[in-house]
A and B are shown apart, each in its own frame.
Chain A
C-alpha cells in the first residue's frame, strides 16, 4: 500500500475538498495505483541533477522586467461581477468572527 484511506482523508482536508465516503474509497484505490507507477522514478540516480522548475531557453532573451508605469487596472465593478455574493464593493463570505 502506498497510501491509506486515513492519509487520503488528510490530503483532502489540506486541499479543502469534500469527498463522500464512496469517493474516498475509490480515490484511495486509484491514488495507490498511480503512486505505485510514479515510484518508477526511484530507479534513476538524480543526485547530481539540477531540478527544472520552468522552461528556459538557451540563447533567447527572456526578460521579465519592465518599467513600473501605472496603467488602467481592471475596474472594481468588473472584478466583482462574477462573485457569488458581493456587496458594498466587497466579496461576501460566511461570518468568520462572532460578534
Chain B
C-alpha cells in the first residue's frame, strides 16, 4: 500500500478486507518516513513503539470482530506543539528539547480512540511562531514540491509530511494561518476549525484566544473525517464549545449549486500575477458549479495585521512566561541567582522570533501603552469580526486566496520580520473573528508551485466549507 497516495477510505477498505494488517501498514509507513524524511526534515521524531502498539490494538479489535474505529490504522503525523504522553514534545524549541509530557492532548486521545496511529511528531516554527518553518531550533523544513523553498509555517512539518507522502493525514495548529498557509504552499488541504470546535487541552499555548487544532490532509473528505473524530466539548478546555458536532460527511453532497459566495475586494490586492491568475480560474470554476459570486467588502481588513500582532504577542508574552527554568527541562547552567536563572534561561533558550514577540507583547501590555495598543487592538478586533458577521448576512461562504504569493525561497524573508508578518494578511482576519477557514488546492503556478483557495464560513459553518470544498476539489480545483 502506497502511504503517499492513499486516503482514509482506502486504508479502511484495505484493513477491513484484510488485504493488509494495521501492523504491516504501520511498519510500511514508518519505513517510508524513515527513508524519506531526510529530504524535508518534516518529522522531528518517529514514535515507533507507540505506533506499533496502537496498530496491534487495531488488529486485535479486527480479530475479535469489533469495529476498530473510523480512522483505524491511519498513519497520522502530529505537530510537535501538541503533547503526547511519554513521547518527546519540543515545540521546535531548544528550551523543550528534552520535554516528555505526562499526558496526551485531547485531540491525540480522540484520534487514537478512533483507531488512528500516531506515527511521529512534526517540525514547526518555535512555539508555532512563524510563517516559514525557518524558526525551528531543529532546522528548517523543505517544501517537498520545491526543495529550495519553505513549506510555510508554522505547521510546516505537518503539511510537508502529508504532501511528501510520509503520513496520510496530520494535525497542525493555527493561530494566524499556521495550518492554512503551509497547506497552500505544499498543495494539501488544511482546516482551521471554528474557535472552540476542537479542545485546546494539550496544545502548548501560544495565543489562547486564537489557537486552534485542525487537520491537514490530501482530500477535503479526509479533513472532515479527522475533524469528526476530534471535535466536540471537552471539560478540560473551558473555551471548547458544547455546540453539537454535526455529521460532516453528510454535508458533502458533491454539488454546490445555489451557494452564495462572497468575494471580498480587499483580499485581491497585492497578489502576485501567478496567484491572481489561479484565483481567476477558481472564480470561473465556482461559477460553473452553480455558485452565485457576489463582490463584498470587509473594510477593516487593512487593520488586521497590526491588530493581530498586538493581540497575539500580548497573549504570547503571558503564555511564555512559564518557561523560566523551574519546571520545563532546561535551565541556564551559569545562573547563580533566581533573577539570573529566569533571564539567562529565557535569553539563551528562546530563538529570535520568540524573543521579538515576547518583547512586543510585554511592551503593548506595559504601563502607559496598554490603552494605546492592546485595548485599541481588542476594539479593532470587534470591528473586524463585525465585518464578517455583516457579510454572512448576505453570503454562505467567502472565497479568498490563502496567501498573496506561493512558497518563497528559504532565507528570502528571514531578515525582515515585518515583511514576514505582512505575508499573513489573508489568513489572520478569520483567526481574529474565530471563524472556520479551509484551504483547498487551487492548481499550480507555471513554475509548478501550489496555490491555495481559502473558504471562510460562519461560526460552526464547517459543513458548508466541506460541501463547497469537496465540490471544488471534485470539479478539478486541484489541477486548475
Contact: B347 with A57, CB < 8 Å?
A: no
Q: Tell me if A6 counts as interface (CB < 8 A to partner B).
A: no
Kindly specify which of B5-13, B273-281, B376-384 makes contact with the partner chain.
Answer: B376-384
Known contacts A31-B359, A44-B303, A64-B238; is-contact A82 B376 (Cβ 8 Å): no
Contact: A14 with B309, CB < 8 Å?
A: no
- A-B contact list, 29 entries, CB within 8 Å: A3-B363, A7-B363, A15-B359, A23-B352, A27-B359, A30-B356, A30-B418, A31-B359, A34-B309, A37-B418, A38-B310, A38-B373, A41-B310, A52-B382, A54-B209, A55-B196, A57-B243, A62-B241, A64-B238, A78-B102, A81-B100, A81-B102, A82-B329, A83-B326, A84-B330, A85-B331, A91-B326, A93-B338, A96-B338
In the complex, residue of chain A having the shortest beta-carbon distance to the beta carbon of B433: A55
Interface centre among B306, B339, B344, B417 (most CB of A within 10 A): B306
Q: Tell me if B325 counts as interface (CB < 8 A to partner A).
A: yes
Q: Tell me if B335 counts as interface (CB < 8 A to partner A).
A: yes
Binding site for B on A (CB under 8 A): 3, 7-8, 11-12, 14-20, 23, 27, 30-31, 33-35, 37-44, 46, 49-55, 57-58, 60-64, 66, 74-75, 78-79, 81-85, 91, 93-94, 96
Q: Tell me if B183 counts as interface (CB < 8 A to partner A).
A: no
What chain A residues lie within 8 Å of B99 (beta carbons)?
Answer: 82
Binding site for A on B (CB under 8 A): 98-100, 102-103, 194-196, 209, 235, 238-239, 241-243, 300, 302-303, 305-307, 309-310, 317, 321, 324-331, 335-344, 346-348, 350, 352, 355-356, 358-360, 362-364, 366, 373, 375-383, 385, 417-418, 421, 433-434, 459-460
The SS class assigned to the B binding surface is helix
Contact: B383 with A94, CB < 8 Å?
A: no
In the complex, residue of chain A having the shortest beta-carbon distance to the beta carbon of B365: A14
In the complex, residue of chain A having the shortest beta-carbon distance to the beta carbon of B240: A62
Give bound CA distance, A25 to B382, whole Å.
Answer: 35
Other-chain contact of A61, B235, B243, B348 (Cβ < 8 Å): B243
Other-chain contact of A16, B103, B329, B346, B433 (Cβ < 8 Å): B346
A-B contacts besides A16-B339, A30-B417, 5 pairs, CB < 8 Å:
A17-B343, A46-B376, A51-B378, A84-B325, A91-B327
